[in-house]
Chain A
Amino acid sequence: MVKRATAQSARQKPARPHRHGKGRCVAVLRKLSAYIDDELPGTLCAELRKHLGGCPNCEEFVASLRQTVTLCRHQPTPSLSATERARMRDQILKAARAR
């Protein structure tokens, strides 16, 4: 699996400095879930949107966080077979009565 350090663009140059300082970064980062969940009050949301418009890195970051949540929501899971379902029911009842 490709490690973080080998990502193409990261190899040549160190981090491209943000236009805003780290403190601002954390302030933006803190609000991103509320932003993508549509839970930010109007003024804060407008402020954040304005910032994202001028900061491609943050814009990409939000998109990737949104993708992450979307993938979580759609991750498939296996289901139980009818036989397993019945077997487990019997075991539970047996255990419940064994007390």
Chain B
Amino acid sequence: MAITATKTGPDRSSADSSHTTASFDTLYRDHVDLMYRFATRLCGESEAAKDLVQETFLNAYRGYKAFRGDAQVSTWLYTIASRACMRMRRKRKGEPDHELSLEEFIPTSDGEFRLQIPVEGLSPEEALQNKQLRQALDQAIAKLPKKYRMVLILRDMEGLSAKEVGSVVGLNERAVKSRLHRARLFVRRELSARGIAEPEETHNGHRLTHRGA
């Protein structure tokens, strides 16, 4: 990997416990928020996300001496977390982990070419103040087969390069891009299949009552 180390492992000759705890504390303090964010994106719900964070740092603690510093610490942690996540049992039964083919994403009717969501003239931050839209996006991502979800989250949400994603999930760049493309098309289709109202107008089909009342 062409990435230079931003941090290296602890001095391997001094493996005393207090040193290890101090190194761990630095590692934990600097990266726990990053890992928690990644975990909530992967698992959706906060308890499973916390489990994944703990599992990740526990594995990192145990493997710290073997960490060679030939990758960024964050990339190393992403790798540990993604492996732990792939091992975690699927909670929802029947979650499909099938291959996605490009053909299935070709729209068959006019309404499917665009998103039926209120984003016109809004910045992404403003558009995402719409709770219904945030939930629809979360649900679309959660519905993705795991291996596609992993790549989409790492690349489009965590902002890793395709090469870095490849090193985390053990794929070449070309395979990462192919998987990412299908994942994006899947999420796009899920969003286009839903009509999301302007936040002020309706909520579950009912008129919203006055907020301040």
Contact = CB atoms under 8 A, between A and B. Distances in A.
In this complex, which of A65, A89, A92 has the most chain B Cβ atoms within 10 angstroms of its Cβ?
A92
B171 to A, nearest CB: 15
A77 B32 contact: no
A60 B111 CA distance: 10
A7 B115 CA distance: 11
Is the interface on chain B under 10, 10 to 19, 20 to 34, or 35 or more residues?
A: 35 or more
B90 interface: no
Contacts of B114: 60-61, 63-64
B79 interface: no
Nearest to B103: A26
Given A9-B111, A57-B107, A80-B32, A75 B137 contact: yes
A33 B177 contact: yes
A79 B33 contact: yes
A7 B61 contact: no
A25 B157 contact: no
A43 interface: no
Given A57-B107, A61-B107, A72 B185 contact: no
Contacts of B119: 67, 71
Interface in B91-125: 102-103, 105-116, 119, 124-125
Nearest to B40: A77
A19 interface: no
A78 B128 contact: no
B113 A57 contact: yes
A72 B53 contact: no
A16 B211 CA distance: 43
B116 A75 contact: no
Nearest to B37: A77
Contacts of B102: 26, 29-30
A29 to B, nearest CB: 6
Contact of B184 (A3, A14, A69, A92): A69
Contact of A7 (B41, B58, B111): B111
Nearest to B110: A9
Contacts of B193: 3-4
Interface of A: 1-4, 6-10, 13-16, 22, 25-26, 29-30, 32-34, 39, 57, 60-61, 63-65, 67-80, 84-85, 88-89, 91-93, 95-96
